[in-house]
Amino acid sequence: MTRVFHLAANTAVMATTSKMTSTNYWDHFVARMGVRRGDHRVTPGLYKLGSPSTDSPVFVTANYSLSFDALRTSLRGLNAYILVLDTKGVNVWCAAGKRTFGTRELIRRIKAVNLNNVVSHRRLILPQLGAPGIAAHEIKNQTGFLVEYGPVRAADLPEYLTNHRATPEMRLVKFPLHDRFVLIPVELTAIWLPGLIAIGLGYIIGNLPYALAVLTVILGGTTFFPILLPWLPSKDFSTKGAFLGLVAALPFVFSVFLQHADWSWYHQAGQMLGYLLAMPSSIAYISLNFTGSTTFTSRTGVRKEIFAYIRPMAVSFAIGLVLLLVFAFVK
Amino acid sequence: MFNSYLENTLVLDAQLCTGCTLCVTVCPHQVFAITDHKARIINPTNCMECGACQVNCAAGAITVTSGVGCASAMINAALTGKKEVACGCC
């Protein structure tokens, strides 16, 4: 049985399990599709998993449902407390960057749920990626609780909990194909409406080739770029994207050459150049924006990229667009 | 060529380091290692400036300019040549 009934009146302990319901799966699906991104929340506060005692471990997480669910399902069979911080429905790492998964909120939450009286030990297990928001020494000073940084991924918790030591592998953040792949729907959801409008405009102005060119840019930037990221040449996202855009533009260039042999040379050259200037620059721009979704780009580097490439991108795109417009009408 | 990520703002003052090893623990990109009870930067270009090491360094031995940075503010500044003004969106 639980031993939480002697708690002070203002510390309502909520109950949770390690099970995923169909509602949870649906919530995850909707979140992964990038729909109602701020709405995937759980109520902040203290939860009991199983039948925890005063010796049971306390885990801390964010109130984004995917974060909370990853934690509770990884603790299957364990009796534990889960302290959920109010991160406004944002995952642990991003919230730590914005300091909502932060020192102040953790201290406030520890006091609000009276954690001193709930457990007899003074130890909290936090996800490693919460560290940018949490000053462990401040927590110790102000609450007496010792912050222990667990592994990056909740899935590694069972192994971690055998000796409370993380292997170097558990401490490392990578960006494997799966992690890049799941971002694609979110990217697409964000631009599907302007994307469709642009495809429609492309069709009106330049028929099927222009519509396909716009579609190629959208899919190139949002789908092919994340998948191909590690294999595209150079380190900068802008140049990686420009390279991808150049490859994507080649079929359009050749189709002008092959299908419109009757056109004048300057009409052919104008449209070819239009594709070669507009497509790489626009895919490069979408690619540059993808730095915000990755797990490894520094702000200094991104700023450097922006100041190096934004103007050439804009100029190249503008000239390319003008050429494509002009040579859609000039015969 | 085409690598904007060779430099960053991470600085470690080894004199202040107490060898608590927390920077090694919190860093998600194995930037630090401990030798002779002192932290050392072993992979400087791996740093993504998340700030976890600085925030958790009780000795104040680490400084790094962290934060997500407002991309649209940077883009506007780069395009117009004006000063970077955060839009308040992030």
Interface-testing mutation among B31, B50, B57, B84, with chain A (most A C-beta atoms within 10 A) = B50
Average pLDDT taken over every residue of chain A? 94
Residue range A226-238, pLDDT digits in tens:
999 999 999 999 9
Whether A239 and B46 lie within 8 Å, measured CB to CB: no
Task: Give the structural domain span for B51.
Answer: 11-80
Return d(Cα A125, Cα A261) in angstroms, integer. 69
Of A280, A277, A290, nearest to A225 (Cα)?
Answer: A290
- Residue A263 belongs to some domain of the structure: yes
Q: Are both A223 and A300 inside the same structural domain?
A: yes
End residue of a domain, out of A173, A195, A230: A173
Examine the pLDDT at A9 and tell me if it is beyond 50: no
How large is the average pLDDT for residues B29-41? 96
Residue A12 pLDDT? 86
Q: Are both A188 and A309 inside the same structural domain?
A: yes
Residue A2 pLDDT? 39
Average pLDDT taken over every residue of chain B? 90
The closest CB to that of B69, out of A133, A295, A299, belongs to A299
Q: Are both A168 and A188 inside the same structural domain?
A: no
End residue of a domain, out of A173, A189, A220: A173
CB A99 within 8 A of CB A85: no
- Residue A70 belongs to some domain of the structure: yes
Residue A7 pLDDT? 39
Q: How many domains does chain B have?
A: 1
Interface-testing mutation among A105, A129, A235, A299, with chain B (most B C-beta atoms within 10 A) = A299
Environment class of A172 (CB within 10 Å of its CB; exposed 0-12, middle 13-18, buried 19+): middle
Residue range A140-169, pLDDT digits in tens:
999 999 999 999 999 999 999 999 999 999
Residue A175 pLDDT? 96
Token pair of A167, please?
């292997």
Give this complex's ipTM: 0.92
How large is the average pLDDT for residues A19-25? 96
Residue range B47-88, pLDDT digits in tens:
999 999 999 999 999 999 986 667 778 888 888 887 776 655
Q: How confident is residue A211, by pLDDT bands cut at 50, 70 and 90?
A: very high
Whether A303 and B48 lie within 8 Å, measured CB to CB: no
Q: Are both A152 and A191 inside the same structural domain?
A: no
Task: Give the structural domain span for A195.
Answer: 179-329
Residue range A137-148, pLDDT digits in tens:
999 999 999 999
With pLDDT > 90 as the criterion, what percentage of chain B qualifies? 71
- Residue B3 belongs to some domain of the structure: no
Contacts of A99 (CB under 8 A, 6+ apart): A133
- Residue B44 belongs to some domain of the structure: yes
Which residues of B fall within a CB distance of 8 Å from A98?
A: 68, 90
End residue of a domain, out of A144, A173, A202: A173
- Residue B48 belongs to some domain of the structure: yes
Q: Are both A129 and A245 inside the same structural domain?
A: no
Which residues of B fall within a CB distance of 8 Å from A134?
A: 55-56
Q: How many domains does chain A have?
A: 2
CATH number for the domain spanning B38: value is 3.30.70.20
Q: Are both A58 and A188 inside the same structural domain?
A: no
- Residue A4 belongs to some domain of the structure: no
